[in-house]
Amino acid sequence: MSVIANLPIFDRVRNRIACATALSVLSAAIVLPGCGSESAETASVAEVQSDLLLADKPETAISLTEVAETFAPSEESEEVSVGSQEVTLTGRIDAGDFQAFQEDQATFMLSELPAEGHGADDPDHEDNCPFCKRRAANAPKAIVNMVDEAGTILPTDARKLLGVSEGDRIVAVGMATFDDAVNTITLQCRGVYVDK
């Protein structure tokens, strides 16, 4: 009689053990992919890095000012001669008083480098030289968007994606447009050489 009376208790205990086991298996199934996603993300970033980081420095990089000049109206016409074109430009990751990087996407801003041979080795030179200050104030800025083959901006912070930081000198290759109204180049970039 006592055995028969205890059967419902036994069934309840067995059900609780079965539920606990099922929850453990389910928890492991949910947690394990999360553990692997970080290494998958790291592998994905490394793969994208190898596609975007140039091994050799391009020899034909031009300044931001020179890029803007290629979009200036021709002498025969007041209209801008090109809408967009392939360029190789060089600059320093810097946005002045603003944040140079866009969080959660591979976008950053470039400023003009000092004139070649003019205080290029002195980081404080541009702040103290009237010529360089005037040149920097008049120079365009460049917004660099690191894009995939479809032209979509990559959804990873450029600092993580490229291993760059504010103040780094880079050479960037891509399709550029220029907005004269705000003196800004936008570069849909497919390759970067970091010249720290």
Task: Please give the model's pTM, rounded to 2 decimal places.
Answer: 0.71
Rounded to an integer, the average pLDDT of 55-68 is 94
- Give the pLDDT of residue 128: 77
Which phi and psi (to 5°) does residue 119 adopt?
A: 70, 20
HSE, side-chain direction, 13 A CA sphere, residue 132: 18
Residue 179 has pLDDT above 90, yes or no: yes
φ/ψ bin of 116: left (φ > 0), alpha (ψ from -120 to 50), beta (otherwise): beta
Q: What is the CA radius of gyration of the chain?
A: 28
Residue labelled with tokens 């009689």 = 1
φ/ψ bin of 151: left (φ > 0), alpha (ψ from -120 to 50), beta (otherwise): left
How large a percentage of the chain has pLDDT more than 90? 49
Residue 174 has pLDDT above 50, yes or no: yes
Look at 71 and 102; give whichever has higher pLDDT: 102
Q: Please give the structure tokens belonging to residue 52.
A: 């975007």
- Give the pLDDT of residue 96: 86
pLDDT band at 44 (very low <50, low <70, confident <90, very high): low
